[in-house]
Amino acid sequence: MADLKTAVANLKAKISDKIEDAASLEVATFSGTFEIETSSLIGQTKEDGSVDKFSVEKVLSSINSSTVNSKLSLVAYSLIKLDGDQANIVKSTLNEQEKELVNFHRQMIEASQKSRQAIVDMVAGLLKIPTT
């Protein structure tokens, strides 16, 4: 097994990279259907016999790909900058379900903000920087 020190270095590098991208926060909510083949959800056995645990990533990438995007319609999109500036796009005509989705979108923004705060707290804790 690889040693912890190296793994920790990887982990810290990963977090640092991401933190650099965290000057703004984007949240998007789509309405639509996507089809996932069962085989994409189940871990695929690789040539060396190990099981690829993260095949779900392929699912994500397929959802993000242009081939599938056509099936999705954007209901709400928010861009929030660290200085507090905020931009929101909401679909102009909303049916009942989409109105609910806008509420859900707001909650996703809150969840995203908390999640980012957790990362900031973790990094600050490692560097022993007090946060408010």
Partner 1 sequence: MSALESILQEAEAQLEKLPDTDGAELMQYYRDLGYLPPTYMATPGGKATLQKADVAFKRDLRASGLFTPAQLQKLRLMHRDSFLLEALRLLMDFDEGTPLPRMPEVGEVSLLSRLVHYRLFIYGLYAHKVDRPFGGADQPGRKQLRTYTGLMNDLEAVNLLADKEGLTQRLLRFWGYDEGMLVFQISEPPATLDPEEFRMNRAFIAMAKRDLKRSPQETERLEKAILRTRNQNLDWSFIYAHTGADIYRFFIRLIQVHQWTSGLYTGALNGEMEAITLGSVQTVVQLYNQSDPNDEDLHLKKMLAYLGEGYWVFNATHFLKIYMIEQGAGDPTESKVISELSYHADQLSPQVQREFTQRTQQLMREAEEDLKEESRDVIGRPFRRIYQGVKSFFRNLFRWGRKMVDAIIRKAKGLWTSLREMFCRIIRGARRALLAFVNGVKMVLGKLPLMTAQAGEVGLSQLELTGDGFSVIPKGWSAQDLHQHRKAVMRFENGIQFSLMMLGELLRFAQTLVVGIVAWPLLLLQIVNSFKLVMKKYQAMYSTT
DSSP string, 70-105: TTEEEEEEEEEETTS-EEEEE-SS--HHHHHHHHHH
Helix (H) or strand (E) holding 112: helix 96-127
119 SS3 class: helix
Residue 107 in contact with partner 1, rule: CB under 8 A: yes
Q: How many residues in the chain?
A: 132
Closest distance to partner 1 from the beta carbon of 93 (Å): 15
Question: Which residue in the set 62, 91, 94, 116 belongs to the binding site for partner 1 (CB under 8 A)?
Answer: 116
Contacts to partner 1 from residues 42-101, by CB under 8 A: 53-54, 56-57, 59-60, 63, 72, 75, 96-97, 100-101
Beta carbons of 116 and 131 less than 8 angstroms apart: no
Burial category of 15 from C-beta neighbours within 10 Å (exposed 0-12, middle 13-18, buried 19 and up) = middle
Nearer to partner 1, 3 or 83 (CB): 3
- Give the total of residues touching partner 1 (CB under 8 A): 59
Residue 6 in contact with partner 1, rule: CB under 8 A: yes
Which residue ranges make up the site for partner 1 (CB under 8 A)?
1-12, 14-15, 18-19, 21-22, 25-34, 36, 53-54, 56-57, 59-60, 63, 72, 75, 96-97, 100-101, 104-105, 107-109, 111-116, 118-119, 121-122, 125-126
